[in-house]
C-alpha cells in the first residue's frame, strides 16, 4: 500500500528542514511552512539559490510551534554556535547575522518589491528555456515568489512532493543514493511513479492535492545539507536524465512536483496515498 514516508516543513526559507511526524495541510500549504525569510541589507530576501551569499543558511534550524488557543504560532531559530531564539526578536537576527557573516533581519512581511539573488548554474542543461538569455555562472537578481494571502515565501506551489520511485531511479542514474533532503520536499510519498500534472492525490482521510507542474531545479540539490555532503556531479545527472517539457513554460531540468491543495487535512507518517488516474 502506498503511504506517506516523510513530512518536512521549512519555517524559515532556505533554512534546514524540520522533520515532523504529522502536519496540517491548509489552503496555503503545511502549517508553518516558509512563513519567515531573511531580509538582507540590499532589500532582497535570502535564498540558497545564490549559495555564495546564502548557502550556509541551510545549516540554520527552524522549529514551528503551532498556535494553541489564543496563543499564535511561533518559530524558534537555532543558528550554529548560538542559543535558540524566537524569530522576530533581536536575538534571532543577531544569531543568524553572526552565522552568515553580515547583518540580516528575519521577517514575515514581504517587501513591496520582492527580489532575491540567483546564481545560474554553469552545468550544461541547468538553465530553463524561459531563462535562455541568462549566462551560465552569472549572479542575477530576480523576482521572488510570495503568497500574499497566506503569507508564505514559496517559489511556486504551496506543497512540494517527491516520490520514492523517482528517487530510486535518480539514485541508479547517479550511481549512489540521493538523499531527498537535497530537494527540500514537504512530503515524500511512496509511489512507484510521479503523478502527472492534473492528477489528484488523496492523502489520509481528508487531504487532497492536485499536481501542478514538475519542479524546475537550481543549484540547491548539489549543496551540502547536513549529513548530505556537497555533490556538484548531481547537477550533471539531473541535466542528463531529467530535462523535460514543463507545460506552458518550456524545457527545464526538473525533479519533484509542485501541488495545489484541493481539500485540507492533517497528514501523518504512514497515511495511505492514492493517486487518481487522469
Tell me, what's the pLDDT at 278?
61
Residues in the chain, pLDDT under 70: 278
Separation CA 20–CA 223 (nearest Å): 23
- Yes or no: is domain 4-56+110-275 CATH 3.40.50.150? no
Q: Are strands 115-119 and 265-268 parallel, antiparallel or unpaired?
A: unpaired
HEC-encoded secondary structure of 8-27: EECCECCCCCEEECEEEEEC
What pLDDT sits at residue 68?
80
Q: What is the CA radius of gyration of the chain?
A: 18
pLDDT confidence of residue 141: 96
Contacts 24+ apart (CB under 8 A), 98-101: 99/56, 99/59, 99/60, 100/38, 100/54, 100/56, 100/57
C-alpha cell at 203: 492523502
pLDDT digits (tens, 9 = 90+) for 63-88: 999 988 777 789 999 999 999 999 99
Q: Which long-range contacts (CB under 8 A, 24 or more apart) does 237-241 make?
A: 237/170, 237/173, 237/174, 238/126, 238/170, 239/123, 239/124, 239/125, 239/126, 240/125, 240/173, 241/170, 241/173
CA 209 to each of CA 5, 186, 198, 267, 273: distance values in angstroms, whole numbers, following the listed order: 16, 12, 10, 12, 11
Q: Are 160 and 185 in contact (CB under 8 A)?
A: yes
DSSP three-state, residue 99: helix
Do residues 266 and 138 make contact, with C-beta atoms less than 8 angstroms apart? no
Q: What is the pLDDT of residue 140?
A: 95
Question: Among positive and negative, which fits the CA dihedral 265, 197, 35, 151?
Answer: negative
In 3-state terms the chain splits into helix, strand, coil percentages (rounded to 5) of 20, 35, 45
DSSP code of 272? Answer: B
Amino acid at each position: 500500500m502506498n503511504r506517506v514516508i516523510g513530512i518536512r516543513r521549512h519555517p524559515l526559507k532556505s533554512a534546514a528542514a524540520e522533520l515532523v511526524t504529522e502536519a496540517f495541510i491548509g489552503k496555503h500549504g503545511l502549517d508553518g511552512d516558509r512563513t519567515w525569510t531573511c531580509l538582507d541589507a540590499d532589500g532582497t530576501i535570502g535564498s540558497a539559490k545564490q549559495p555564495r551569499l546564502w548557502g550556509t543558511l541551510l545549516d540554520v534550524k527552524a522549529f514551528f510551534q503551532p498556535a494553541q488557543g489564543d496563543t499564535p504560532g511561533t518559530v524558534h531559530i537555532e543558528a550554529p554556535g548560538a542559543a535558540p531564539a524566537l524569530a522576530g526578536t533581536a536575538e534571532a537576527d543577531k544569531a543568524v547575522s553572526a552565522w552568515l557573516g553580515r547583518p540580516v533581519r528575519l521577517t514575515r512581511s514581504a517587501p513591496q518589491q520582492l527580489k532575491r539573488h540567483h546564481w545560474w548554474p554553469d552545468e550544461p542543461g541547468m538553465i530553463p528555456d524561459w531563462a535562455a538569455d541568462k549566462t551560465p555562472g552569472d549572479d542575477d537578481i530576480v523576482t521572488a515568489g510570495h503568497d500574499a494571502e497566506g503569507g508564505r515565501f514559496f517559489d511556486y506551489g504551496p506543497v512540494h512532493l517527491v516520490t520514492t520511485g523517482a528517487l530510486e531511479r535518480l539514485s541508479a542514474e547517479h550511481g549512489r543514493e540521493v538523499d531527498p533532503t537535497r530537494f527540500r520536499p514537504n512530503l515524500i510519498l511512496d509511489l512507484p511513479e510521479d503523478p502527472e500534472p492534473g492528477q489528484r492525490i488523496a492523502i489520509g482521510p481528508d487531504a487532497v492535492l492536485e499536481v501542478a507542474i514538475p519542479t524546475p531545479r537550481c543549484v540547491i540539490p548539489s549543496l551540502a545539507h547536513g549529513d548530505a555532503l556537497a555533490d556538484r556531479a548531481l547537477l550533471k545527472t539531473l541535466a542528463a536524465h531529467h530535462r523535460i517539457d514543463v507545460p506552458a513554460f518550456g524545457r527545464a531540468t526538473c525533479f519533484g512536483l509542485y501541488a495545489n491543495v484541493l481539500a485540507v487535512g492533517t497528514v501523518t507518517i504512514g497515511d495511505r496515498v492514492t493517486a487518481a488516474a487522469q
